[in-house]
Amino acid sequence: MATSVLERRAPAVPHTHAKTGLWSWITTVDHKRIGILYGATSFLFFLLGGLEALVIRLQLTGPNGKLVDPDTYNALFTMHGTTMIFLGVMPLSAMFFNYFIPLQIGARDVAFPRLNAFSYWVFLLGGIFINTSFLVGAPPDGGWFGYANLTSSRIIPATAAAPSPGLNIDFWVIGLQILGIASIAAALNFFVTIVNLRAPGMKMLRMPMFVWMSFVVQVLLLLAFPVITVALIYLMMDRNFGTSFFMPDGGGDPIMWQHLFWFFGHPEVYILILPAFGITSEILPVFSRKPLFGYTAMVFSGIFIGFVGFGVWSHHMFATGMGPFADTFFSLATMVIALPTGVKIFNWIGTIWGGSLRYTTAMMMAIAMVALFIIGGLSGVMHSAAPADLQQTDTYFIVAHFHYVLFGGAIFGLTAGAYYWWPKMFGRLLDETLGKIHFWLMFIGMNATFFPMHILGLNGMPRRVYSYPEGLNFEFWNLIETVGAFVLASGFLVFLVNIIKTWMGPKNAPADPWHGATLEWAIPSPPQEFNFPKLPQVGSSVPQWDARRAAGGHLPEPALVSGEGIHMPNPSFWPLMAAIGVNLTLGSLLFIRQLPYWYGLTLFGAAWLFVSVYKWAFEPAH
């Protein structure tokens, strides 16, 4: 597949390039290596976001917490949300997209391997950029949704002060722009990969459910991210060039920001959860030894969730006073989303119903994902009713809701995926005993941390406030939550120990340790660079089960082959160079308000990007 804009003939002599060493990782265009890079990077960011959460919990352990001051607290919950969403869950999903979409559809790589590398490097540099704000003492502090006017750099007459004069929000705005570029590039790549690189015979309705849900996610990314891009551009102009897009003193409307943000923000929550839905739908059938119940219904409910997900954004804004017509419309649309989600839950239950279950760690995580997501989904339906939502808005009830869907749903799903696919990625099975300990610590910790938030929220404890006075009956449940958070954290410590132990242990994973249903289990663990020596022919949605049945229940280990005659894309370091160019260009905009002559760096960055893109385009791809 030619990937350059301007392709050239492949050289007569195949390139021989280093397979190991730092340089091979910097120039890699292999989707499996990029997947591992995504995973390692985002897991570090995930731990960082977790540390921020622990500090928040320590601060709130008892009344009148003194651990951090209000400003630091604002930065902590802002960066906790931003980190977990954009640097944790999204790229953890991207790890699975990278590694397993090509394997599950029977492809040798993604459609545009160098664009894939570019996405990763932009994500890495953008993540570092946004976290550099801590080092210069200006971390973002306006909440992960950055509501206007909290983000304004302009002096508001009523208070004679600007809400956010420093660089804090500038880091957030530019950081999100950079990460948005990574997301759009990656989404385009996976979208085309799924549409165009499926193995012969793999019709759309034979794709594994993980690929289907990933496909919906790519569409959501492509359609939702441009809107936040525009909103961030407006915000940047408001902060730096005195425009009034969201400023009432110039005729603008702060609510405009909320509309643009949530038009992106609501599809974004499906971007976070649907990959976990897909992973769960992979794991439950394998460990129930039954095909997925209601495959087609699962596909269309996923599409329906993505579609209706664009029509519900204003349910985040009931408290802004949109009027009864808008409230009614968005309430109803939100309740409608419960229908396809319910279809999925019943189908998962139907899948394990009557199956011969194997309680591996992956299976337990997946079952817990379904159970916890139901709790989060039910509280979601509760605040789809606008009058109820007005009581719940900005209380811990909301915090409880979205942690049940995003931690109970997304993180449990992704962790299930890690246990399920670890042997395929690294050729080693994670320790099941440690895995069970990890599971129970995480499950108990999660519920101890987030369930009391329902009670606190309904009792009126507001979110985003750095402390609370004694005597409001908040003490007991807050203490439980903090203990729960540390139990949760210890679960991830066990996970780390498990990873290290497995890393040091022998390569003990066969090609198909779980008797899986999909194509990735047909090839050695870990797969060779070209994945499939010969493109597989697919006759159903469970090709590996078909093969196993045809072989009488026992499949031989697939042999390693030389791969001669298979052209794989050349490594390239221009994706990294282009990513640096993107970061220079956008990152230099950080200073336009204070130091106008930094435009020079912007121009330099643009020139750098320009040269890199041309080098990339005219470089032989194969």
Stretch that binds another protein, among 76-84, 191-199, 390-398, 472-480 (CB under 8 A): 191-199
- The whole-angstrom separation of Cα 306 and Cα 337 is 9
Residue 596 sits in the site that holds another protein (CB under 8 A):
no
- 106's CB contacts (< 8 A; 6+ apart) are 198, 199, 202, 519, 532, 535, 536, 538
Closest to another protein by CB, 415 or 570: 570
CB-based contact 225:180 (threshold 8 Å): yes
- The whole-angstrom separation of Cα 14 and Cα 428 is 32
- The whole-angstrom separation of Cα 51 and Cα 98 is 27
Nearest distance, CB of residue 350 and another protein, angstroms: 30
CB-based contact 259:317 (threshold 8 Å): yes
Residue 188 sits in the site that holds another protein (CB under 8 A):
yes
Residue 416 sits in the site that holds another protein (CB under 8 A):
no
Q: What are phi and psi of 581, to 5 degrees?
A: -60, -45
Q: How many CB atoms lie within 10 A of CB 594?
A: 11
Helix then strand count (H, E) for the chain reads: 19, 0
DSSP string covering 550-591: HTTT--PPPPP---TT---PPP-SHHHHHHHHHHHHHHGGGG
Closest to another protein by CB, 314 or 384: 314
Applying CB under 8 A, which of residues 26, 47, 237, 385 lies at the interface with another protein?
237
Applying CB under 8 A, which of residues 24, 229, 459, 490 lies at the interface with another protein?
229
Residues 528-587 that bind another protein (CB under 8 A): 534-535, 566-567
Closest to another protein by CB, 210 or 330: 330
Nearest distance, CB of residue 115 and another protein, angstroms: 8
Residue 11 sits in the site that holds another protein (CB under 8 A):
no
**Three-class SS state of 225:** helix
- 65's CB contacts (< 8 A; 6+ apart) are 58, 59, 466, 467
CB-based contact 469:63 (threshold 8 Å): yes
Residue 40 sits in the site that holds another protein (CB under 8 A):
no
Stretch that binds another protein, among 48-56, 68-76, 229-237, 475-483 (CB under 8 A): 229-237
Nearest distance, CB of residue 360 and another protein, angstroms: 33
Residue 434 sits in the site that holds another protein (CB under 8 A):
no
Residues 93-152 that bind another protein (CB under 8 A): 111-112
First to last CA, the chain: 9
Nearest distance, CB of residue 617 and another protein, angstroms: 8
CB-based contact 79:51 (threshold 8 Å): no
Stretch that binds another protein, among 44-52, 61-69, 225-233, 388-396 (CB under 8 A): 225-233
Stretch that binds another protein, among 139-147, 197-205, 375-383, 495-503 (CB under 8 A): 197-205
Closest to another protein by CB, 128 or 561: 561
Footprint of another protein on this chain (CB under 8 A)?
1-3, 5-7, 111-112, 184, 188-189, 191-192, 195-200, 202, 222-227, 229-231, 233-234, 237, 241-245, 250-253, 255-256, 259-260, 263, 310-311, 314, 321-326, 534-535, 566-567
